[in-house]
Structure 1
Amino acid sequence: MDEPSVTGPLRDAAGEGIIHTRALTKRYRGGQLAVDGLDLTVPAGSVFGFLGPNGSGKTTTIRMLMGLIEPTSGTAHVLGHPMPRATRAVLPHVGALIEGPALYGFLSGRDNLLRYDSADPSADPRTRRARVAAALDRVGLAAAAGKKAKAYSLGMKQRLGLAAALLQPRRLLVLDEPTNGLDPQGMREIRALIRELASDGTTVFLSSHLLDEIEQVCTHAAVMAQGRLITQGTVADLAAGMRGRLVVTTPDTADAARVLKERGVGDVAVTEDGVTGEPPEGELAELNAALVAAGVRVRGFGVERASLEDAFVALTGEGFDVAG
């Protein structure tokens, strides 16, 4: 079957999202169900975090979206076109860094990017060196451009892979663990770059095991577990759906814990400087008054805002595993 032609800029088809899947499923030989009926929508202009514990199906999903593997059933549209059928039409508009960059170790960082750029039939060879220099500078590798890639640290290789994805203006950037191997300063720089790209109109879809990274840079997120989509939405809404923990700061921890339990507070835990628990329904001011009436010296009282990590653990029933 012929691939669909593209006569203009690819766009968010029918408002359905830059990435849009329906019942997307991948079952491997032997019966392993890696992705099960995935309905995912990535809004245009968003920075979309893709979260999930080990074996949740994130990488398999990304590989299907990029046309690297065929789905067993269901559909995936990227930039309004079906994948993998429209791979040749779509991929020139997409930058991707998946499962680490593939590099020629015997070539310098600059020469690796020149190779990448020359493989792009849409790239103007007359401006190739300027384009490579700009990409290297953007990811902070200008000073190491002449160094052989085999001598690069893991973080430097990650930066070089990101530079390859940025050689051309992209409508969509797909990043699998973009800050893997970077030191804290490098993480901050790459996160700032992601925000800059999003402000310029690029939709960024990133997989990460760092929940604070998702909270810092992402506008939207989806949570996967055991091949199924658990939830998706704005990062603010995902965390807002969770009630935070009640935190009481007091030196009288034993008495405070007793009063809280008597008043229906669940999961009471004593900390170094107070007591925490699941807040009960009802007016919290009455709970505070009960503590004071019992002689507890209350030095702080309130409900902490729930984090994305709290939401993740509640949704998946498990902690966050780095792999997956």
Structure 2
Amino acid sequence: MTVTETTGSPLVTRGLTKRFRGGQVAVDAVDLEVPAGSVFGFLGPNGSGKTTTIRMVLGLIAPTSGEVELLGQPMPKAQLQVLPRVGALVEGPAFYPFWSGVANLLRFDAADRTADPRTRKVRAGEALERVGLSNAAGKKVRAYSLGMKQRLAIAVALMQRRDLLVLDEPTNGLDPQGTREVRNLIRELADDGTTIFTSTHLLAEVEQVCTHAAVMSRGRLIRQSSMAELRSELRPRLVVRTPDVTKAAETLKSLGVTDLRTVGETVEGDAGELPIDKFAAGLVAADVRIHGFGLERPSLEEAFVALTGEGFDVAE
């Protein structure tokens, strides 16, 4: 079975807004466009509006205003036609706790009117194997750890081949090994032609898996672009390590370095397009003792913090 061909972007929002009672704006006029075949990271600190956006995209809650288009069709008008082609994991898994993992999979698949009952058991076994739960298939879900429940939820989304897979914090509760397995699974699905839209507050997820990213902060979309484009905009900074920080900063400023910052015995700044040997020679001429000198490219963490003014979790 091949992924159904779609035209344009599989996920588009225009002016998507959600206000709750009391006037609280959770999502404020978000315009998203997810390229076909991409692994799209929806990044932001906890509470930035990511999950509310996803719930509106999938028709789980109604937007206050704005539009959603899934796989080329308007939502929620076309949800009966569109949602069977979309796999989703939103706000953590929910299962029948006294049923086994495989029994839960079979029940969810039976509720899908597009699923072929003749291949149900085979597909359940394959889905459990892909998420590493074959040995726990017969265990009751109430005995599953949070990480195992997370894997089982992904298995539900994998019971059928999907055009679009929407994953809300897919590595939540997983140990480092489980996290790596889910990342590899996401890459495999993308290689097979499935577009992946995954929300996270972990920069490692975006850096290691995603081809594109959007950054949310306080309900607003701050930035969206390809990862290649974002990395190309991270201009390297001149970094000088010296015990003579005051003299070094004054000298670099006189030589044209801008946006100077001093931390401990380190001075850094934007050298623009000027050759760095000019700065080395100027520092030596000013009798600045140099313990370290060179250009360093900012990390993605620094780029995202600069965009939002908020910290991100960089842990695995």
Please say whether Structure 1 and Structure 2 have the same fold, judged by a TM-score greater than 0.5: yes
Residue 284 of structure 1, CA deviation:
2.2
Q: What residue ranges of structure 2 are gaps of 5+ in the alignment?
A: none
The whole-number CA distance in structure 1 between the counterparts of 2:19 and 2:138 is: 44
Amino acid at match of 1:320: F
Cα shift at 1:144: 1.1
1:11 alignment partner in structure 2:
6
> Scaled by the length of structure 2, what TM-score is found?
0.91
Tell me the matched-pair count. Answer: 306
Q: Which residue of 1 aligns with 2:251?
A: 262
* In structure 2, distance between residues paired with 1:92 and 1:276: 56
User: For residues 303 and 215 of structure 1, what CA distance do their matches in structure 2 show?
Assistant: 21
Separation in 1, partners of 2:250, 2:79: 59
Q: Distance between the aligned counterparts of 2:144 and 2:202, measured in 1? A: 23
- Is the 2:16–2:30 Cα contact (8 Å) retained in structure 1? yes
| Mapped pair 1:206 → 2:198 | yes
- Is it true that 1:87 corresponds to 2:63 in the alignment? no
Q: Does 1:49 find its partner at 2:38?
A: no
> Cα distance 1:263–1:247, how it changes in 2: closer, same or farther (>3 A)?
closer
| Structure-2 separation of matches of 1:202 and 1:9 | 10
CA distance in 1, matches of 2:77, 2:41: 25
| Deviation of 1:148 (Å) | 1.2
SS of 1:263's partner is helix
Cα displacement string for residues 172-191 of structure 1 (whole angstroms, at most 9, x for unaligned residues): 00001111111111111110
> SS of the residue aligned with 1:40?
strand
Identity %: 63
Are 1:138 and 2:133 an aligned pair? no
Q: Is the 8 A contact 2:237 2:271 kept in 1?
A: no
CA spacing shift, 1:257–1:184, aligned 2, 3 Å: farther
Aligned partners of 1:188, 1:219: CA distance in 2, in Å? 17
* Structure 1 segment 91-170 matched on structure 2, within 5 A: 91-170=83-162
| Distance in 2 of aligned mates of 1:160 and 1:28 | 32
Say if 1:259 and 1:290, in contact at 8 Å, map to a contact too.
no
Q: 2:268 matched to which residue of 1?
A: 277
> Aligned pair in 2 of structure 1 residues 321, 30: CA closer, same or farther (>3 Å)?
farther
Give the aligned partner of residue 21 of structure 2: 29
TM-score, normalised via structure 1 length = 0.88
Q: Check conservation: 1:10, 1:80, Cα contact below 8 A.
A: no
Cα distance, 1:261 vs structure 2: 4.1
CA RMSD, 1 decimal: 2.0
User: How big is each residue's C-alpha offset from its partner over 1:288-316, in whole Å with a ceiling of 9 and x where there is no partner?
Assistant: 22334445564653222222211111111
> 1:321 offset after TM fit, Å?
6.5
Q: Which among 222, 227, 235 is matched to residue 243 of structure 1? A: 235
In structure 1, list runs of 5 or more residues that go unmatched. Answer: 1-7
